[in-house]
Amino acid sequence: MSDPLAAPPPGAGGRSGPAAPASPWSFAGMVGLAAVLFLDVASVTFLPGWAVVALVVVWVVLLVQACRWFVRRPRGVAALAGAGLAAWVVAWLAVVLG
């Protein structure tokens, strides 16, 4: 009977070899998401509270997706930061124009 806690033999599944280096796009996207969070929270000065809460909820969803895509889709992480910025601009325009 084999030991269920024993390590699998080399080449029996899983990853072998060194991990692929992370793309700079992933890091740029995470920095962009951090900047968007500051915009969202600072918006409490001119947006209604419910709108700020909605922006932060959208930001959390974007952050979770960015964490999932960090290695697999690095340019997608940067695009998520752009989507967060676009959501903030839409909220800002809604206040300014209406």
Q: What is the pLDDT of residues 32-84, one digit of tens each?
A: 999 999 999 999 999 999 999 999 999 999 999 999 999 999 999 999 999 99
How far separated are the first and last CA of the chain, in Å rounded? 72
Structural domain contains residue 1 = no
Q: In a 10 Å sphere around its CB, with 0-12 CB exposed, 13-18 middle and 19+ buried, how is residue 19 labelled?
A: exposed
Give the Cα separation of 53 and 73 in Å (integer).
Answer: 28
Structural domain contains residue 90 = yes
Structural domain contains residue 30 = yes
pLDDT at residue 27 above 60?
yes
Structural domain contains residue 10 = no
C-beta separation of 14 from 8 below 8 A: yes
Structural domain contains residue 88 = yes
Structural domain contains residue 61 = yes
Structural domain contains residue 55 = yes
Q: Rounded to the nearest 10 degrees, what angle do helices 74-97 and 24-42 cross at?
A: 20
Q: Which of residues 68 and 95 earns the better pLDDT score?
A: 68
Structural domain contains residue 51 = yes
pTM recorded for the entire structure: 0.77
Q: Rounded to the nearest 10 degrees, what angle do helices 49-69 and 24-42 cross at?
A: 170
Range of the domain at 89: 24-97
- Model pLDDT for residues 7-19, shown as the tens digit of each residue: 656 655 556 667 7
pLDDT of 16 reads 60
What is the number of structural domains in the chain? Answer: 1
